[in-house]
């Protein structure tokens, strides 16, 4: 119980995450499940808070696909992941534009530089369509072709 509470005091964890981290320390079979059940019952483990925490920390920097992968890796319910992804898709263009503007001063001036900008956004999990729109809008705004 103490280890679980220490982990939860640093950040939100899903039940699956805690189970994986605490499994090596389980002394008797079933003890870990009982502890995790108590923590869920007392609302120390809350899936909604885990999703909200990840979205709050990661959405300003990452695209939908990277965040979706992170949510799935935490062992969250598929419906919670789907709801979060739907919410993220609505703001993906604005988030991608913001990330790009923090990194670059202006639009790419050569095909090689355009590829570099594209890779930068793509590795952060933004979709190809969104990246193309951000870079296309930048070209239009700055008067380049």
For residue 5, give the CATH number of its domain: 1.10.10
In a domain, residue 40? The reply is yes
pLDDT for position 51 = 95
pLDDT for position 142 = 52
In a domain, residue 1? The reply is yes
pLDDT tens column, 78-106: 999 999 999 999 999 999 999 999 999 88
Host domain of residue 17:
1-45
In a domain, residue 77? The reply is no
In a domain, residue 16? The reply is yes
In a domain, residue 32? The reply is yes
pLDDT for position 106 = 84
In a domain, residue 21? The reply is yes
Spatial CA neighbour of 63 closest among 124, 134, 123, 104: 124
In a domain, residue 12? The reply is yes
CA distances from 133 to 37, 58, 68, 86, 99 (A): 46, 22, 21, 19, 14
**Number of domains the chain contains:** 1
pLDDT-flagged residues of the chain (< 70)? 138-145
In a domain, residue 31? The reply is yes
Q: Would the pTM of this model clear 0.85, i.e. be above it?
A: no
């Amino acid at each position: 119980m103490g280890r679980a509470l220490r982990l939860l005091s640093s950040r939100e964890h899903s039940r699956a995450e805690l189970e994986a981290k605490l499994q090596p320390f389980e002394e008797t079979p079933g003890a870990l499940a009982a502890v995790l059940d108590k923590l869920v019952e007392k609302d120390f483990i809350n899936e909604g808070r885990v999703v909200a925490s990840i979205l709050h920390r990661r959405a300003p920097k990452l695209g939908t696909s990277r965040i979706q992968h992170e949510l799935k890796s935490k062992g969250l319910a598929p419906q919670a992941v789907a709801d979060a992804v739907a919410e993220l898709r609505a703001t993906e263009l604005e988030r991608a534009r913001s990330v790009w503007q923090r990194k670059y001063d202006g639009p790419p001036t050569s095909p090689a530089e355009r590829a570099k900008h594209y890779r930068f956004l793509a590795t952060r999990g933004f979709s190809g369509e969104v990246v193309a729109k951000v870079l296309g809008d930048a070209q239009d705004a700055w008067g380049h072709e």
